[in-house]
Amino acid sequence: MSINPAPRIIAELRPKYEIKIDLDERCFLFPAGKSVSQLLLLSDGHTILIDAVYPFNQARTPPRLVALDLDDAREFGRRLVEAVHTARTQLVGTNGIRISINVVANGYHLQFGDMNAATELFLGTGCIWRVCQGLLRIVDLIAPIESN
């Protein structure tokens, strides 16, 4: 009898939860200068990874935009919904992350990280609610809050 540990190791690397969010043609990532067609939210149950799916990627830009722990993702989701509802700029600042959410003429400008070396994601108004729902859905999958 032979025991092969490789399949178990591969299974452990797979995310427990995965949510795909379709974006529209007005979504772009900078400084890479790429169009983004989809956001992929992955989680192992502790950390939430936000990856971009590009329709073209000749430069081999990495897909990872940001990694969030549960509390940071919950706060980001709340601030994103608040920014969309009130049409005002929001700042998510915790010990783990710094994200600014700016309302612009044709959508939303999300800036991840330090101002000097930030990753910028421009989202059109047609897909912003899908992004909000997807982010809150993966937080709920990881740590559902019991209702009264």
CB-CB contact of 77 with 136 (8 Å): yes
pLDDT given for residue 14 in this prediction:
65
pLDDT tens digits for 28-87?
999 999 999 999 999 988 899 999 999 998 889 999 999 999 999 999 999 999 999 999
pLDDT-derived band at 2 (thresholds 50, 70, 90) equals very low
Residues 6+ apart with CB under 8 A from 127: 21, 22, 23, 24, 27
> Who's near 82: CB < 8 A, 6+ residues apart?
88, 90
Q: What is the CATH number of domain 16-142?
A: 2.30.31
The residue ranges of every structural domain in the chain are 16-142
